[in-house]
């Protein structure tokens, strides 16, 4: 087991190297001088050359890559072309907002998907099961940006029930209710597709467990139905789901770009989109790497958790 975990961790290293080469490569092929905004257009060609030399941009590309990768490993993500601020600071400033959004969405997903999935599985082919199945098709098919737009138009703008965007009322003091009021719609939009997806997974997982011998044994022993379902079946049905939550991370990261844009939520996703519009390459590279690392970590955690919770798996 320990050997498996170590091997699994080692396997991520080539993946991370591959990711960093691709991120770096895209920026190398990007049109336009990466330093164009940094350099004064009026300086003489000699001075310009000297400046390029000083910034290390005349070095061979592999040397530039190694320097960039080395800096990243030391936590130095460079500084923004636009604001000249430290990229790592820019990310850490906005990270809490994105985390709040993602954690809320995760909780929403669990609270909605698991009970519905269980009910669907226990009452398979019942009317309720069909309704939930139908609803989950809606959830995975609805484009999140359109859902967000519609909620803003009807609930925020027309009915005035919710704020149009932002993390809290501007200029106001910290107020938990106000924060939650702002959080509800974006978190809901971010969670919609995953709620639907997780409902399906819970249902499938529960169906698989439902007819297992040990569930029948529990029933034969005369346990109440509730105890059979929640104590015997559910525990085993939830095991594969633990790993699914590790895989939610990528969809949340992708979704946060759209959701933060629509709800003007000052998080990582918005920073990323803003920097792509301004061609702020250091920020784009750092965030692409950051997102990819999170996805790799999510997969890693999912795999390790799976090994931990399911002792039947041999490695």
- Report the half-sphere exposure of 315 (CA within 13 A, side-chain side): 15
As separate numbers, helices (DSSP H) first and strands (DSSP E) second, the chain gives: 12, 0
- Nearer to other proteins (CB atom), residue 93 or residue 274: 274
Q: Is 27 in the site for other proteins (CB under 8 A)?
A: yes
Q: Is 287 in the site for other proteins (CB under 8 A)?
A: yes
Restricted to residues 223-262, the positions that interact with other proteins (CB under 8 A) are 250, 253-255, 257-258, 261
C-beta neighbour count of 45 within 10 angstroms: 7
Closest contact distance (angstroms) between CB of 152 and other proteins is 7
Closest contact distance (angstroms) between CB of 42 and other proteins is 27
Q: Is 45 in the site for other proteins (CB under 8 A)?
A: no
Query: What DSSP line would sit under 269-283, residue for residue?
Result: HHHHHHHHHTT-HHH
Closest contact distance (angstroms) between CB of 53 and other proteins is 25
Which of 102, 194, 196, 192 minimizes the C-alpha distance to 150?
A: 192
Restricted to residues 139-178, the positions that interact with other proteins (CB under 8 A) are 140-146, 149-150, 152-154, 157-158
Residue/partner pairs of 146-153 with CB below 8 Å, 24 or more apart: 147/189, 147/192, 148/185, 148/186, 148/189, 148/258, 148/259, 148/262, 148/263, 149/262, 151/185, 151/188, 151/189, 152/185, 152/262, 152/263
Q: Is 279 in the site for other proteins (CB under 8 A)?
A: yes
Answer for which of 6, 30, 36, 135 binds other proteins (CB under 8 A) is 30
Which of 160, 233, 228 minimizes the C-alpha distance to 202?
A: 233
Q: Is 301 in the site for other proteins (CB under 8 A)?
A: no
Closest contact distance (angstroms) between CB of 273 and other proteins is 7
Closest contact distance (angstroms) between CB of 283 and other proteins is 11
Per-residue exposure over 49-75, b if at least 16 CB sit within 10 Å of its own CB, e if not: eeeeeeeeeeeeeeebbeebbeebeee
* Secondary structure (3-state) at 192: helix
- Nearer to other proteins (CB atom), residue 216 or residue 227: 216
Q: Is 215 in the site for other proteins (CB under 8 A)?
A: no
Closest contact distance (angstroms) between CB of 127 and other proteins is 14
Closest contact distance (angstroms) between CB of 224 and other proteins is 25
As given in the structure block, the two tokens for residue 167 are 């993390």
Phi-psi region of 99 (alpha: psi -120 to 50; beta: other; left: phi over 0): alpha
Answer for which of 183, 206, 228, 296 binds other proteins (CB under 8 A) is 296
Q: Is 61 in the site for other proteins (CB under 8 A)?
A: no
Q: Which residues bind other proteins (CB under 8 A)?
A: 14-15, 18-19, 22-23, 26-27, 29-31, 134, 137-138, 140-146, 149-150, 152-154, 157-158, 250, 253-255, 257-258, 261, 272-273, 276-277, 279, 284, 287-288, 291-292, 294-296, 299
């Amino acid at each position: 087991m320990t050997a498996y975990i170590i091997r699994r961790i080692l396997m991520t290293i080539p993946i991370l190297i591959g990711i960093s080469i691709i991120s770096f490569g895209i920026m190398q092929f990007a049109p336009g001088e990466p330093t164009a905004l940094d350099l004064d257009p009026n300086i003489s060609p000699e001075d310009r050359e000297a400046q390029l030399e000083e910034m290390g941009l005349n070095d061979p590309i592999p040397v530039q890559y190694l320097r960039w990768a080395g800096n990243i490993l030391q936590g130095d993500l460079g500084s923004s072309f636009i604001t000249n601020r430290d990229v790592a600071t820019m990310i850490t400033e906005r990270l809490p907002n994105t985390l709040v959004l993602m954690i809320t969405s995760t909780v929403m997903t669990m609270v909605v998907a698991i009970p519905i999935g269980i009910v669907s599985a226990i009452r398979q082919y019942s009317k309720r099961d069909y309704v939930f199945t139908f609803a989950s098709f809606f959830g995975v098919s609805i484009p999140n940006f359109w859902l967000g737009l519609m909620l803003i138009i009807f609930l925020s703008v027309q009915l005035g029930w919710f704020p149009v965007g932002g993390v809290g009322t501007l200029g106001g003091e910290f107020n938990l209710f106000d924060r939650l009021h702002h959080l509800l719609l974006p978190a809901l939009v971010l969670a919609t597709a995953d709620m639907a997806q997780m409902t399906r997974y819970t249902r499938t997982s529960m169906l698989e467990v439902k007819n297992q011998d040990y569930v029948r044994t529990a029933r034969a022993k005369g346990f109440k139905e509730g105890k059979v379902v929640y104590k015997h079946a559910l525990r085993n049905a939830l095991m594969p789901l633990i790993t699914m939550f590790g895989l939610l991370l990528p969809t949340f990261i992708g979704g946060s770009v759209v959701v933060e844009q629509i709800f003007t939520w000052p998080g990582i996703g918005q920073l990323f989109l803003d920097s792509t519009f301004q061609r702020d390459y250091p920020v784009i590279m750092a965030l692409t790497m950051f997102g990819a690392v999170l996805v790799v970590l999510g997969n890693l955690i999912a795999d390790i958790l799976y090994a931990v919770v399911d002792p039947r798996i041999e490695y």
